């Protein structure tokens, strides 16, 4: 089973129907999308080995869809790259994955070409268009366990790790989405508001399988007004949005577009107050997912009807185990925790990755005992609702993007005017969380901003700096991050 079958089936059933739209403009029918995909796949097979990793670094563009299915049809694996990363960070992912080529948007390609030795091919360039004149040949058979999506998440050590997801993993995610959250058909649409290198891109599979439209905003990003307009224009629309994007939709003050039926939110904490405001503005169209790169989009969830007449405990939870996934909370000794007892959240099922790319030590630790150890802490209530209590990994989730404190700290301490630095997340109404840096040293805020801009992505820069004489530490010399978090003024 190869994920290309998802498109193949849709094209067989709905060949003449619109598949890919840029804004309101139809670009390709399902038949045309399959044809383009198979031509691209032939051109990729001509110069790559089966199993090659092929990276995509682009803001949201229609070509991402044909590239994904083409890479799969060619028996290769997609390496999606967050387009907001610094070229240096992108280059690290390309090197670690051993990518054979990276398809980059015209916006990203020039800086990326300077940063990496991996061949960069510009999406929609004459070279790309030539690929589309290759013959369309049938794809080879693929083992369902073969690598389909090499998904880079950062670790607390700051080094990116590639979660290896197979065709089977993504199919399990697809089936679970259709079972639990949404039931699109050929008169439905998926509007891509969030980055397609992450959750929104993963949702392409379930919606293509049902013959639904893929709608890519002309802005290539998330503009709440444009998103709502597109949800009004296209039939029976759904979208995946980070909690901060949901808040921005609410802030427009507009009513729910009639055709908007489902908004899946997740990937970071959604505060109960924000959720209530969103439901008051748009009605009961919300679905929550809790997942991570290692078990994409699919650990627990709250369905639409679970939001109705729900108390704050349910709205503040991440729901219950998804179809096909077993979820448990383990205590410090690795035994199942009792109701209300906080422990590490673990899960298992067909959606869970096979391990980290070229990193057996991390794989062994994360998949110990046959469970995926999420690193998230939480507890179950008596009805199986899971509440996240704290993230043991200290990840800061700002505007739906994960920021790993260690990465920022390492760059801060490279500055001559910084003796010590510690980065924590602080709650923020607009962004969910923001990065706050505690600094021991003489470097000014302007110095540090300039220093960071040269080295890491803009969105990872601290929104606040707090200067201290020393960092609080325990007897092992470990910085007490919890104490620092408490020191951040409201
Ligand atoms: P990523 O691997 O980048 O998708 O990040 C996954 C992490 O985001 C999880 O381990 C959680 O810590 C957090 N997360 C995902 N979904 C939710 C949610 N619904 N509520 C709170 N945190 C979440």
The residue with tokens 């980070």 is: 242
| pLDDT tens digits for range 431-465 | 999 999 999 999 999 999 999 999 999 999 999 99
Is 269 touching ligand 1 by the criterion CB < 6 Å?
A: yes
Tell me what the mean pLDDT of segment 327-340 comes to: 94
Residues 451 and 362 grouped into a single domain: no
Residue 387 within any structural domain of the chain: no
Work out the burial of residue 117: count CB atoms within 10 Å of its CB; fewer than 13 is exposed, 13-18 middle, 19 or more buried.
exposed
Residue 97 within any structural domain of the chain: yes
**Does the pLDDT at position 22 exceed 50?**
yes
Task: Give the closest residue (by CA) to ligand 1 atom 23.
Answer: 268
| pLDDT tens digits for range 470-480 | 988 754 345 78
| pLDDT tens digits for range 292-315 | 999 999 999 999 999 999 998 999
Task: Give the closest residue (by CA) to ligand 1 atom 4.
Answer: 292
The residue with tokens 């999406």 is: 123
Task: Output the domain CATH number for residue 264.
Answer: 3.40.50.12780
Residues 199 and 255 grouped into a single domain: yes
Q: State which of 332, 349, 380 marks the end of a domain.
A: 380
Tell me what the mean pLDDT of segment 279-289 comes to: 97
- Which of 406, 426, 403 is CA-nearest to residue 414? 406
CA of 390 to the centre of ligand 1 (A): 11
Residues 6 or more apart in contact with residue 206 via CB below 8 angstroms: 173, 174, 177, 178, 182, 184
Residue 390 within any structural domain of the chain: no
Is 391 touching ligand 1 by the criterion CB < 6 Å?
A: yes
Is 290 touching ligand 1 by the criterion CB < 6 Å?
A: yes
Using 50, 70 and 90 to split pLDDT, how confident is the model at 152? Answer: very high
Task: Output the domain CATH number for residue 428.
Answer: 3.30.300.30
Using 50, 70 and 90 to split pLDDT, how confident is the model at 272? Answer: confident
Task: Give the closest residue (by CA) to ligand 1 atom 21.
Answer: 269
- % of the chain with per-residue pLDDT over 70: 97
Q: Count structural domains, the chain.
A: 2
Tell me what the mean pLDDT of segment 346-363 comes to: 97
Return the half-sphere exposure (C-beta side, CA atoms, 13 A cut-off) of residue 101.
15
Residues 30 and 72 grouped into a single domain: yes
Residues 29 and 72 grouped into a single domain: yes
Residues 235 and 156 grouped into a single domain: yes
Residue 416 within any structural domain of the chain: yes
What atom in ligand 1 is closest to the CA of residue 199? 4
Residue 468 within any structural domain of the chain: yes
163 three-class SS: strand
| pLDDT tens digits for range 214-264 | 999 999 999 999 999 999 999 999 999 988 889 899 999 999 999 999 999
Is 388 touching ligand 1 by the criterion CB < 6 Å?
A: yes
Residues 372 and 460 grouped into a single domain: no
Q: 363 with 356: CB under 8 angstroms? A: yes
Is 374 touching ligand 1 by the criterion CB < 6 Å?
A: yes
Is 300 touching ligand 1 by the criterion CB < 6 Å?
A: no
Residue 391 within any structural domain of the chain: no
**Does the pLDDT at position 271 exceed 80?**
no
User: C-alpha distances in angstroms, 80 versus 41, 84, 188, 228, 240?
Assistant: 17, 12, 25, 26, 17
Residues 325 and 448 grouped into a single domain: no
Confidence at residue 490, expressed as pLDDT on a 0 to 100 scale: 76
- Which of 121, 269, 267 is CA-nearest to residue 202? 267
Residue 272 within any structural domain of the chain: yes
CA of 131 to the centre of ligand 1 (A): 38
Residues 6 or more apart in contact with residue 475 via CB below 8 angstroms: none
Confidence at residue 37, expressed as pLDDT on a 0 to 100 scale: 98
Q: 246 with 278: CB under 8 angstroms? A: yes
Q: 155 with 132: CB under 8 angstroms? A: no
Query: Which residues span the domain enclosing 52?
Result: 4-380
φ and ψ at residue 234, rounded to 5 degrees = -90, 155
**Can you name the residues that pair with 433 across neighbouring β-strands?**
427
Residues 6 or more apart in contact with residue 80 via CB below 8 angstroms: 55, 56, 149, 151, 196, 197, 198, 201
Confidence at residue 160, expressed as pLDDT on a 0 to 100 scale: 79
Tokens of 348: 């298992």
Residues 426 and 365 grouped into a single domain: no
Is 200 touching ligand 1 by the criterion CB < 6 Å?
A: no
**Does the pLDDT at position 329 exceed 70?**
yes
**Does the pLDDT at position 121 exceed 50?**
yes
Task: Give the closest residue (by CA) to ligand 1 atom 1.
Answer: 292
Is 324 touching ligand 1 by the criterion CB < 6 Å?
A: no
Residue 386 within any structural domain of the chain: no
């Amino acid at each position: 089973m190869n994920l290309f079958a998802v498109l193949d089936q849709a094209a067989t059933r709905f060949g003449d129907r619109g598949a890919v739209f840029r804004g309101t403009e139809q670009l390709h029918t399902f038949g045309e999308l399959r044809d383009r995909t198979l031509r691209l796949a032939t051109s990729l097979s001509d110069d790559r080995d089966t199993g090659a990793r092929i990276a995509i670094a682009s803001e949201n563009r229609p070509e991402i869809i044909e590239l994904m299915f083409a890479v799969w049809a060619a028996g290769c694996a997609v390496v999606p790259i967050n387009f907001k990363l610094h070229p240096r960070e992108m280059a690290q992912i390309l090197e670690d994955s051993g990518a054979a080529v990276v398809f980059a948007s015209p916006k990203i390609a020039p800086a990326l070409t300077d940063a990496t030795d991996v061949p960069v091919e510009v999406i929609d360039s004459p070279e790309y268009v030539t690929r589309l004149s290759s013959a369309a040949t049938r794809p080879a058979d693929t083992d369902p366990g073969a690598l389909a999506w090499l998904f880079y998440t950062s670790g607390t050590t700051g080094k990116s790790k590639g979660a290896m997801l197979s065709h089977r993993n993504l199919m399990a995610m697809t089936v679970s989405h259709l079972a639990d959250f949404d039931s699109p058909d050929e008169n439905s649409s998926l509007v891509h508001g969030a980055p397609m290198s992450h959750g929104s891109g993963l949702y392409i599979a379930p919606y293509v399988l049902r013959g639904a439209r893929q709608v890519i905003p002309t802005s290539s990003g998330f503009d709440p007004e444009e998103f709502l307009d597109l949800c009004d224009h296209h039939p029976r629309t759904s979208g995946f949005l980070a909690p901060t994007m949901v808040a921005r939709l609410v802030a427009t003050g507009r009513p729910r577009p009639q055709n908007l039926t489902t908004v899946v939110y997740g990937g970071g904490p959604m505060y109960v107050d924000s959720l209530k405001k969103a439901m008051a503005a748009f009605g009961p169209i919300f679905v929550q997912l809790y997942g991570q790169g290692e078990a994409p989009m699919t650990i627990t969830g709250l369905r639409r009807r679970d939001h109705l007449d729900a108390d704050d405990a349910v709205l503040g939870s991440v729901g219950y185990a998804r179809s096909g996934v077993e979820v448990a909370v383990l205590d410090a000794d690795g035994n199942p925790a009792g109701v209300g007892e906080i422990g590490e959240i673990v899960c298992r099922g067909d959606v869970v990755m096979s391990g980290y790319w070229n990193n057996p030590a991390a794989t062994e630790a994360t998949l110990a005992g046959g469970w995926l150890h999420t690193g998230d802490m939480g507890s179950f209530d008596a009805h199986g609702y899971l509440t996240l209590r704290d993230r043991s990994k200290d990840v800061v989730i700002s505007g739906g993007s994960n920021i790993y404190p260690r990465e920022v700290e390492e760059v801060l301490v490279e500055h001559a005017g910084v003796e010590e630095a510690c980065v924590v997340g602080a709650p923020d109404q607009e962004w969910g969380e923001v990065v706050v840096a505690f600094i021991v040293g003489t470097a000014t805020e302007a110095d540090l901003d300039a220093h960071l801009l040269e080295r890491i992505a803009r969105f990872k820069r601290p929104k606040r700096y707090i200067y201290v004489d020393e960092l609080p530490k325990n007897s092992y010399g470990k910085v007490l991050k919890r104490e620092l978090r408490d020191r951040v003024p409201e």
